[in-house]
Amino acid sequence: MATGKEKSFKSIARDAKRRLKSGFWQDCEEELARELARAREAGVSESRAAHYFTDKIALKLSGGDDEAFYARVREMLLAEGEVSDAIGRLIDRAYYDTLSYEEKQRYTLRLSERYLRALERFRRECEFESL
pLDDT of residue 99 exceeding 50: yes
pLDDT of residue 37 exceeding 80: yes
- Whole-number pLDDT of residue 1: 44
Residues 24 and 73 in one domain: no
Residues 57 and 67 in one domain: no
CA separation for the pair 29, 54 (Å, rounded): 10
- Residue 48: left (phi > 0), alpha (psi -120 to 50), or beta? alpha
The dihedral sign for the CA sequence 27, 28, 32, 33? negative
- Whole-number pLDDT of residue 63: 60
pLDDT of residue 46 exceeding 90: no
Q: What is the number of domains present in the chain? A: 2
Crossing angle of helices 65-80 and 101-129, rounded to 10°:
70
Residues 72 and 129 in one domain: yes
Is residue 69 helix, strand or coil? helix
Cα 13 to chain centroid distance, Å, stands at: 22
Q: Are 47 and 35 in contact (CB under 8 A)?
A: no
The residue segments making up the domain with residue 126 are 63-131
CA separation for the pair 131, 126 (Å, rounded): 9
- Whole-number pLDDT of residue 130: 67
pTM for the whole structure: 0.61
Residues 127 and 107 in one domain: yes
- Whole-number pLDDT of residue 72: 93
Write the CB contacts of 45 (distance below 8 Å, at least 6 apart in sequence).
39
CA separation for the pair 72, 91 (Å, rounded): 11
7 within domain boundaries: no
Residues 56 and 67 in one domain: no
4 within domain boundaries: no
